[in-house]
Amino acid sequence: MTAHGATPTSSHPGPGHDLPGTRERATGSGAASARRAVLIGTAESVGLLSSQLALLADPPKAEAVVLVEPPAGAVCRTTEDLPRLCRDLRPDFAVVCLPRSSAAESRRVSAILAELNVPERRVPVLQDLLDAPPASTLSGPGAAVADARRLLGREPRPIDHGAVASVIEGKRVLVTGAGGSIGSEIARIVASYGPESLVLAERSENALFEIDRVIQRRFPGLARAAVLHDITDHDATLRLLAKHRPHAVFHAAAHKHVPLMEDHPAHAVTNNVFGTRSVADAALACGAERFVLISSDKAVNPTSVMGATKRLAEMYVQHIHRSADATRFSIVRFGNVLGSACSVVPIWSSQLAEGGPVTVTDHRMTRYFMSIHEAASLVIQSAAIPDPPGGRSAAPVFVLDMGEPVRILDLARRFVAASGFHPVVVPPVQGLTPLDPAIDLSTLPTMEIALTGVRPGEKLYEELAYDHEALIPSPFPGISVWSTPSQPVDIPNMLAELTAARNSQNRAAVIQTIRGLVPEMQPPIAARGGPLQGIDQADTCSDKVRHAAA
């Protein structure tokens, strides 16, 4: 099977091809029924793998089982035996069933099999399928969507389960934007830690239905409420929280797409700023113990409307934190999340399925990345970190450690290669990072990666903290705590200016007002490299709102 006419030049599927391809080869190509296979997996996954093989019309004969990370005392062959085993048995292929948590061993197994010229079939672990959010699927050479860990080239940050339990267990929890990529993952994790109840607030009917269905199936005994809700309705939000009285509020609802918000700045103001105000006000009024704002690295020295409105949301949370006695407000910043809705991986998956090309805006562009599960887990864990020294003068800002920034072009090339194609950058770029030597690109069909140019509002690189923010030691690896000096802001006038600009229905006026309220906002970069037309680039810092470091 190929995607839109692409024809592989090798008769052996490469890493990432799954069991359906095995069955097609067995039943449709006249292969002998007595094919021999080596099964590779953990002690937990191999038993299920044997059952899955039995469902095939012409199941292969399992000549041996290789256990990765075997339990103590088990009598078995390990990964160390794999080279000798394959040379002795000469299997037609190896069936690999490893969980995502074994990323390093998975790469090692793939390298060994490639060196021995043993075709590899991948079968997903059942629990990984249950834990994973819905994702695009492909056919043909791109059938396996590359694992986030393989793309990032690092292991996920460790999670302190005791800290997460201290925030969630026996508590009433509310998640806004519960149908989104981060919100739904937070909801799944929260549900697994035994909360008293879970409220899913989401304005997308389909997204709410899906996450509610997942929670109901996996946690049938959990008290939950799926609420179709618009956070920009201030009074309705107050009623929602007054009804459910959450101990912890995770505010993930937001508009996040940079180019769209450049075209619709009033919507960004309404959802990101006034929506945050609604939820924060309600959390304070209803006596919530914790409120966590999911922010973005794009809020630091923003160049986009989306980033600037997230910065304004941070400013409001900082303001309300100063007057909050019972509620502890905090902010979490992180960068891009691999696999989130409409992020690069699903977009590239769709482009591969359509026959290409895969698109990247600029070869110099870098971003911080982490997996959805890693980001959501660390967000919840951050809520357990105590306030920094100095009292409640400012809400703590937690920055998730995302490792080194990743060049988007390198990520795209790794993704395309892991999906079974030979990536070709157009126009050519010099000095590219070498790809995984275990992948023989000469045997793969080519796939173009087209450089399309920077879009309005985009940066070439992101920052995670301001220069005036001070780093404070954190008790948990993977989370940095930044202390933000108090910046007095006339919040009533800020909101009044935003309301007037939004009601003017004038795009330029809205952007002008945002830039006045966020003086560190840089002029946006247009698709062809110049400033956006129709927007005054002069500094328009508001006369009514003053930002002064304490």
Catalytic residues: 298
Distance CA 109, CA 98 (A): 10
Alpha helices (runs of H) in 193-304, residue ranges in sequence order: 205-218, 234-244, 258-263, 265-268, 275-285
Distance CA 313, CA 509 (A): 19
Q: For 243-246, which contacts have Cβ atoms below 8 Å and span 24 or more sequence positions?
A: 244/172, 244/174, 244/197, 244/199, 245/172, 245/286, 245/287, 246/171, 246/172, 246/173, 246/174, 246/199, 246/283, 246/286, 246/288
The rounded Cα 141 to chain-centroid distance in angstroms is: 24
Alpha helices (runs of H) in 96-137, residue ranges in sequence order: 103-115, 126-131
Distance CA 178, CA 366 (A): 28
Angle at 39 between CA 35 and CA 45, to 5 degrees: 140
Distance CA 328, CA 398 (A): 13
Helix 507-517 to helix 491-503 angle, to the nearest 10 degrees? 170
Distance CA 545, CA 515 (A): 12
The rounded Cα 149 to chain-centroid distance in angstroms is: 12
